[in-house]
Amino acid sequence: MVSCNDYLETKPKSFVTPEFYYRNESELTAALMGVYSELGNTNESTYSRFLSLEAPSSNDEQLRRGANTAIIADLYNTSASYDNFFNCWTTLYSGIQRANLLLKNIDKAVASQSIKDNIRGEALFLRAYYHFILVGYWGDVPLKLASTNSVNHVNVAKTSSSEVYSKIMEDMALAFNLVDDSFALGNVGRVSKNAISGILARVYLHAAGRLKNPSFYNQARSLTQEIIQSDKYSLNPDYKQIFINHTANIYDLKESLWEVEFFFDNSSSSSNEHERFGSTIGIRNRDNKTGFAQGNYTATGLLFDLYREGDKRRDWNIAPFYYLDNDKNNGTAEYLPNYKWGRYVAKWRREYQTGVYNKNFGGVNWPLLRYADVLLMFAEAENEVNNGPTADAYNAINQVRRRAYGFPVNQANTITDLPPGLNKDTFFKWVKDERSRELAFEGLRKLDLLRWGLLESTMQEMITIINSTAPGGSQNPLGYSGRDATLRPYQNFTSRDVVFPIPTQEMSLNRLITQNTGW
C-alpha cells in the first residue's frame, strides 16, 4: 500500500561499495592491504596453515606425525568435497577478486601518479601470484582478469596452464616496472622489485618443467643473476638466526626478500592474519606459557641422511632432542644417534616468540623468498642454460653450502665445496639435494618435485626406503608411530594426486568447469 513512496534508502551505511571507495591514497593503500591479507587469511586456508604445512606435505622431506587415520590432504585420502581444498581455492580467488576491484577503480582516486603506479604494480603482482599458487596445485584453472560484479557470474571455464603461466609472467614483468622500492623500504611484507624478480624466476622454473619448455631457464637465469649482482643481499652468517628472526618479528633485509606477516594472536576481531603453523609444527610441547606445539610434522629419515656431519642446518631444522613428558619445564633429553625417523620439525621454535603469547596463534612470519633460494635457482638455471655447470653456478651453490657449515661464504673451502668436473646431471642432483637441505619445510619441495617430473617416482621410492630403513615399531616419545603409519601417505598417493581436485562446491556452481583427472 506504500510502494509508491520513496521510503527505502539505497545508499549503504554499514559497508562500503566500490562506487563510494578508492577515492584517495589512504583508501587505495587499505584496499591493497586487503589484497595482501589473503596470503595469511585467518581461516587457515593459505599460509596460516594449509599452504605452509598440509598442502606441500607429505614428501621426501616431511610427513604428518603418527598413526593418523584422518581424512586430510597430506595423507592423500581426501575427496573433492574436502573443506580445505574449497577454503584455499576460494581464498585465493578472493585475493584475485580484491586485486581486480582495485585495478578497476584505481584511476578514479585523487593521488599522485607515483602512488597509483606502485599500488597498481603490487596489485598486478599479487593477482599473478595467487594465480601461480592455483596453477601450481590445481593445474588448469580459470584465469580471472576482471572483477565479478554479480552473484550470477559463476560460470567460468578453465584456462590452459600455458596461458595462465603466460599471463602470470606478463603481469609480474609489468609489476616490476611499476613498483617503487621506496614503498617496501625496511619492510619485507610488501614486495620490492627484487622480490618480484625472484618470484618471477621461480615462475619461469616451474613453467620450464611443467610446460616442458626449457627456454624459460634463460629468463630465470637472467633474473636471479640481476638480483645477485645488485649487491643488496647476502646470506646471514648464522643459519638458525634466519628463523629466530621470523619468530621474533625481526626483519632481515639481507637474507629475506619477501615474507607473509602475521599478528601475534587472534584477539583482534578487526585483523585477518593469524598464524597457526607455529603451534602445529615444532617440538611437541604442552607448556602453554612459552611454547605450546602439537608437533604434527616430522622429518623423514631420508632428509636426515642428506645432511653430513658438520652441517649446522641438520640439528636446527630437525630437532636433536625432545621435551620430557612433552613438557618443556621438565628439561630435555638427547635422541639416540640411530633415531632418524620421527624427529620433530624444529625450524621455527616458539621459545623465541616475542609479544603477546597465545597458545594456538603466533606472530611467526612465513618466508616466501630468501636469498639462499635465489642463489640455488641461479645455479639450477645456469646449469640448464649451459648444458653443465659454470664457475658462476658452482660459486652460487657453494656460498649456500659454506654458510651451512659456518665458514665464510666467499672463501673456497675443501670441506664444503662441490667436487669439480660435474656434468649437467650430476650437478643437478647436487642442486636438488641442496634445495632440500637448505629450504626444508618451507613449502617448496612438493612443487619442486612436480616441476622436475619426479613427484610420482619419489613417492614410490619412499615406500622402498621406509620399508628398508625405518623402524618397525613406534619410538616414544618421538613423533614416530611405526612403519605402517609412516607408509600410509606414500601408499595412498596415486597419479591423481599430482594436482588437487576442483572443489565440489565449485563444480556444483560453475557449469563450465571440468574436474581434474582421477577425481
* pLDDT per 10-residue tile (average), the chain, 519 residues: 39 54 93 96 92 96 81 95 97 97 96 96 98 98 91 88 98 97 86 97 98 98 98 97 94 95 64 82 78 90 96 95 68 68 92 80 93 98 98 98 98 97 98 98 98 98 96 75 92 97 96 97
Q: Can you tell me which residue has the cell 592455483?
A: 134
For 189-228, letters b (16+ CB in 10 Å) and e give: bbbbbbbbbbbbbbbbbbbbbbbeeeebbebbbebbbbbb
Q: Can you tell me which residue has the cell 619442486?
A: 448
How far is the C-alpha of 160 from the C-alpha of 84, rounded, in Å? 24
Assess contact for 121 and 175: CB atoms under 8 A: yes
How far is the C-alpha of 261 from the C-alpha of 170, rounded, in Å? 26
Nearest 5°: CA angle at 16, between 12 and 22?
135
Q: What pLDDT is recorded for position 16?
A: 56
Assess contact for 265 and 358: CB atoms under 8 A: yes
Q: What pLDDT is recorded for position 68?
A: 64
Return the sign of the alpha-carbon dihedral for residues 147, 153, 154, 158. negative
Q: Record the cell numbers describing residue 358, joined without a space.
A: 597465545
pTM of the predicted model as reported, rounded to 2 decimal places: 0.94
CA 385 to chain centre: 26
How far is the C-alpha of 62 from the C-alpha of 53, rounded, in Å? 10
How far is the C-alpha of 75 from the C-alpha of 489, rounded, in Å? 4
By the 10 Å C-beta count (0-12 exposed, 13-18 middle, 19+ buried), 454 is classed as: middle
For 367, list phi and psi in degrees, rounded to 5.
Answer: -75, 125
Of 306, 305, 301, give the one whose Cα is nearest residue 469.
301
How far is the C-alpha of 323 from the C-alpha of 331, rounded, in Å? 6
Of 108, 122, 105, 113, give the one whose Cα is nearest residue 35.
122
Assess contact for 487 and 464: CB atoms under 8 A: no
Q: What pLDDT is recorded for position 185?
A: 80
Of 383, 387, 386, 385, give the one whose Cα is nearest residue 397.
383
DSSP character at residue 329: G
Q: Can you tell me which residue has the cell 638480483?
A: 227
Q: What pLDDT is recorded for position 12?
A: 44
Q: What pLDDT is recorded for position 76?
A: 96
Q: What pLDDT is recorded for position 330?
A: 58
How far is the C-alpha of 411 from the C-alpha of 404, rounded, in Å? 13
Q: What pLDDT is recorded for position 356?
A: 67
Return the sign of the alpha-carbon dihedral for residues 172, 176, 182, 185. positive
Return the sign of the alpha-carbon dihedral for residues 282, 285, 286, 287. negative
Which residues partner with 297 through β-bridges? 64
For 497, list phi and psi in degrees, rounded to 5.
Answer: -80, 5
How far is the C-alpha of 161 from the C-alpha of 169, rounded, in Å? 12
Directed axis angle between helix 193-210 and helix 161-178, to 10°? 160
Assess contact for 352 and 247: CB atoms under 8 A: yes
Return the sign of the alpha-carbon dihedral for residues 485, 490, 496, 502. positive
Contacts of 207 (CB under 8 A, 6+ apart): 165, 169, 213, 216
Contacts of 30 (CB under 8 A, 6+ apart): none
